[in-house]
Structure 1
Amino acid sequence: MASIAWKTLIVGILILVFFMPRDHTPDLKVMCDNERMTPGTTCISTDSSKAGTYEERVQREIDNAESARRRDEKWGTELTILGGAITALSLAALIGGLVGMLRARQTVAPADQGWWSQNS
């Protein structure tokens, strides 16, 4: 049972980490080969995500930020609630199991060893 609780706790935390809504402000410090681009410049690169003019790269950043913001508006709150609920229930199960285990240890009386001393 504890193994399942640990696994669901990890899943809940991962959902919170990866799907919690974030600030999607576009990064307008566009870089090309470790140099900051300025309006009117063009980046020539073998990486297609870095190639293009400054204006194209800025527009890509804005579009990506808008897409991420729309995804968060559609699923962010629901997935955050789901991840929080899974995490809380898993923690409750783990704590309940730990408390039960500690109580069980306290209620078990040590075996009476009187017969051993009588036979020796």
Structure 2
Amino acid sequence: MTDPIREPTLRVVPGPTDINANGHIFGGWVLSQMDIAGGIVASQRARGHVATVAISRMEFIAPIHLRDVISVFAEVEKVGRTSMVVKIEVVANRDRGICESIKVTEGVFTFVALDDNFRPRTVDVEA
């Protein structure tokens, strides 16, 4: 998924307010960035509103440091009747993106497509 030719769904730099007590970036901040990126690809696939309904797997592999450039890669892996499973990977580029790239987090999120009344709706499987 982290093919260098592929563009990330989201790219962001954490700030000083995102640091936890250990001096690394707070896990909740990373989770929110993953949810945003997953929501982007799920919404595009569903052609409309989506909501996160589950995180079936989440793994923190390495810490994120202040001033790392974070790239979040998300892709729809499976489409059900109303839901989509999205695999998400986070890569940190150290030293403002100049040095090494390290996979820091990955997870699997499930999103459900919503109609105009924010109720589950069918996703077009052929799209």
Q: Same fold (TM over 0.5)?
A: no
TM-score interval, normalised by the smaller of the two chains: under 0.3
TM-score (normalised: structure 2): 0.23
| Greater helix share, structure number | 1
| Greater strand share, structure number | 2
Compare CA radii of gyration and give the structure with the larger one.
1
